[in-house]
Amino acid sequence: MNETLVIQSFHSKPWPEHIEQCISSVQSWANQNKYTYRLFGDEILEIIPPDYLKNCFGRWPVITDLARLLLIKNHLNNCAHRVIWLDADTFVFAPDKFNVKINEPHLVGREIWISKKLNKQWKSRKHVHNAFVCFTNASPVLDFLIYATERIVTNLTAASSPQLVGPKLYTHLNNLIRFPIMETAGMMSPAVMKDLIAGQGPALNCHLKALKEPMAAVNLSRSLMDHSVDDVLVTDDLFDQTIRQLIKNFRTNGLENRSL
């Protein structure tokens, strides 16, 4: 079993344009690396325990936080040596720079979140995220993550933050045990996207300074759709324009501190 499997999930079509482009970019990247690719739809609900599903209160990010782990575990047990999950709103814009570290038993993505402080200055916060995760049969943490995710949610008595058993859980654990991190699997806050589209800006500069390695794939945080974050309204158009800029300017070398 030397197979590497890439999996994603999104509901049945029609899809927004940016989801079409994101999923297509991951499929293309998987093909380029001769990885097997599988896309799941709403059938992932069938693997979620009823008590967990009830306590998700309809929050799709919380549902998929457990679903991805169960899918990964199932495929590691049956057909694959390595399984990679990427959220459906993750766009691989520099595929030649997006190289999975094959010597690591597990990997998580890098979250650099740029937000405005009370003094109106931009601040970067470094966390990790699970919009990209990779596990092999040798990982000692996959079973614990399944246990912890299910335990936390089944004990909820009210709707939680959508990030509770995603970036929040993974970041708390990372602070203690230091996960191996796929630095090229990044994330952008809406203010950074706005500056990227404009070609410059303080939020983008703050993000670039915080990068350890060039970003080659970005999670667009679709869960923020129709919300205003740091005075930036998150819309389909924001995502579409961000993708166009990444393709136009950063396909070869990725997004790095020297990019602009």
Give me the DSSP letters along the chain. Answer: ---EEEEEE-PSSP--HHHHHHHHHHHHHHHHTT-EEEEE-GGGGGGS-HHHHHHTTT-HHHHHHHHHHHHHHHHHHHT-SEEEEE-TTEEES-GGG----TT-SEEEEEEEEEEE-TTS-EEEEEEEEEEEEEEETT-SSHHHHHHHHHHHHHT-SS---TTIIIIIHHHHHHHHH---EETTEEE--HHHHHHHHHT--HHHHHHHHH-SS-B-EEE--GGGTT-EETTEE--HHHHHHHHHHHHHHHTTT-B-TT--
Express each pLDDT in 75-132 by its tens digit: 999 989 999 999 999 999 999 999 998 899 999 999 999 999 888 899 999 999 999 9
| Residue 256 placed within a domain | no
Which residues, given as ranges, of the chain have pLDDT below 70? 1-2, 259-260
What CATH number is attached to the domain comprising 139? Answer: 3.90.550.10
Whole-number pLDDT of residue 93: 98
| Residue 159 placed within a domain | yes
Whole-number pLDDT of residue 2: 65
| Residue 258 placed within a domain | no
Looking at the chain, the whole-number percentage of residues with pLDDT higher than 70 is 98
Whole-number pLDDT of residue 243: 98
**Strand pairing class (185-187; 82-86):** unpaired
Q: Which range marks the domain in which residue 30 is found?
A: 4-250
Whole-number pLDDT of residue 1: 56
Domain count, the chain: 1
| Residue 255 placed within a domain | no
| Residue 146 placed within a domain | yes
Whole-number pLDDT of residue 118: 81
| Residue 162 placed within a domain | yes
